Every structure is written in C-alpha cells, then in structure tokens.
C-alpha cells in the first residue's frame, strides 16, 4: 500500500439505494490520484483519544482511459449503512466540504491476465462489491473489442430491485456491448416483472448452476465474505486455480 497520507475533501454525496451512499472526494491539494482500476483506498477515521479507525473502500470512479494505470481527479466510493457501525455513523453524517485523510490506493483485484487471455470474464459481486467492476468498464470494453469471440458476464447479488447499484452504468454498457450480459440475483424480493436475467436467491447459489469452463474463464469475486468463500469452494471443485480466480472480501463498515 502507498503509505503516504492524503487529505480528501467531500465533493458530493448522493443516495444510490436504500441505505447505500455514494460519496465523491477530491484531493485537497488539487492533484489527481494515480490508480489501477479495481483498487481501494483506506479512509482514516479519527475516534476517541488518538486512535484512528481504518476502513477500505473500492474506488468506483469510471476513468477516462482503458489504461492499466490512470489518473483520476474524482475519487468515488459506495458504502452501505450498518446500524451502530462506527464508520457508517461517521460517513453517513459527513457533509460536502468536510475533509478526511486517506492512504492508498492498494489492492490486487485488478483487470489483467497472464499468458493467454481468457475467452470469458465472469464478474461476481454482492452489494457495494460491484464498485470495482464499475471502475473497470473502460478496460472491459477494450477487452471485448480486442477479440470478437470474448464475453463478459456480471452476476450481481442484491436484496431487492431497489438495490441494483449503478444500474444505469451497467445497462448502458450492456446496450453498447452485445457480448456483455448482466444477471441479478435477488435474495429478498424479485422485480414485479422479472426478465430472463433476473433470478431468485443468492448469487453464489446461481453460480453453481451457471455453465463454467475452467480452461477458458477467469472469475472475479468481490463482496460478502460468505459469498466469496462459498463461490471459491465451488470454483475449486470445478477445477479453477488460484490463477483463474481473483477475489476480494468486502467487510461491512462497522
């Protein structure tokens, strides 16, 4: 991780789903931040005494370039409210113009492939774990245009239709890229008029019914630790290796 501490200023705040907030920051010094899409930042939240609480949040900013490393001037994150959680209470009460310190970026959930590129990418997420995939959209578009046999599948596990985070971004991407498909798995409430891409239950359960090709697929897992562990166990049984599964567990901001 980059050990340098930077001060951020809150640029904007908006509610993107019930109990889910999107916050955009800029560096107080006016400079850009060099990131690799898929990385996270660590916010440093002062608490009682001299203790500082650290919480990691994936960068959700869609960069202007598909390069492996990019400069961004707006640092966007998404977070879910956790009742009585220290970080949640602090970040859900923050106002535009306030400042916070951060470290990073860091993380290994990056868009890259060694040796032979895969034919298909399968992106699995729950809740705000979809944020790094939003940041990868330019790279995903480039991946598809480089070879017309490639495909990308997003499997998104959420509670209700109201919790489809960044819905418009992914729907627009699907409209612009025919070899991208977007499936939603609802654990509590299905849409009133479900499509063929809407499924009842947990995303890790749906993954167990999804046709996989260990020799041609790379799978990304990001979100709830229980989902990541259960999905990874299934993938290992399907002959996937540590080289063809990328994972990051997304803990609630307590």
Peptide bond before residue 105 is cis, with ω within 30 degrees of 0: yes
pLDDT in tens, 83-100: 988 999 999 999 999 999
Q: What is the set of domains in the chain, with CATH numbers? A: 6-106 (2.40.30.10), 120-249 (3.40.50.80)
pLDDT for 251 equals: 64
Confirm whether pTM is higher than 0.85.
Answer: yes
pLDDT in tens, 16-52: 999 999 999 999 999 999 999 999 999 999 887 768 9
d(CA 117, CA 152): 13
d(CA 221, CA 232): 8
Q: Kind of pairing, strands 151-158 and 180-186?
A: parallel
Please check the confidence at residue 113 and state whether its pLDDT lies above 90: no
Backbone angles phi, psi at 201, to 5 degrees: 110, -170
Please check the confidence at residue 108 and state whether its pLDDT lies above 90: no
> How far is residue 36 CA from its own chain's centroid?
13
Average pLDDT over residues 109-123: 84
């Amino acid at each position: 991780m980059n050990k340098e501490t930077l001060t951020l200023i809150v640029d904007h705040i908006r509610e993107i789903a019930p109990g889910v907030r999107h916050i955009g920051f800029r560096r107080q010094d006016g400079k850009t931040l060099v990131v690799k899409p898929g990385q996270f930042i660590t916010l440093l939240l002062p608490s009682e005494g001299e203790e500082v609480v650290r919480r990691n949040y994936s960068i959700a900013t869609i960069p202007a370039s598909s390069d492996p490393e990019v400069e961004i001037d707006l640092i966007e994150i998404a977070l879910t409210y956790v009742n009585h959680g220290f970080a949640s209470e602090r970040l859900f009460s923050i106002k535009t113009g306030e400042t916070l310190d951060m470290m990073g970026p860091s993380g290994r959930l990056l868009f890259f492939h060694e040796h032979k590129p895969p034919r298909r990418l399968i992106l699995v997420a729950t809740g705000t774990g979809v944020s790094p995939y939003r940041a990868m959209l330019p790279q995903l578009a480039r991946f598809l245009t480089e070879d017309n046999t490639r495909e990308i599948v997003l499997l998104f596990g959420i509670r209700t239709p109201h919790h489809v985070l960044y819905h418009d971004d992914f729907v627009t991407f699907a409209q612009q890229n025919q070899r991208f498909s977007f499936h939603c798995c609802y654990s509590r409430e299905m849409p009133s008029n479900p499509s063929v891409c809407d499924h009842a239950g947990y995303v890790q359960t749906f993954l167990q019914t999804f046709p996989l090709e260990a020799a041609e697929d790379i799978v990304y897992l990001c979100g709830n630790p229980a989902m990541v562990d259960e999905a990874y166990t299934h993938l290992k049984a399907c002959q996937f290796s540590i080289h063809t599964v990328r994972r990051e567990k997304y803990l609630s901001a307590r």
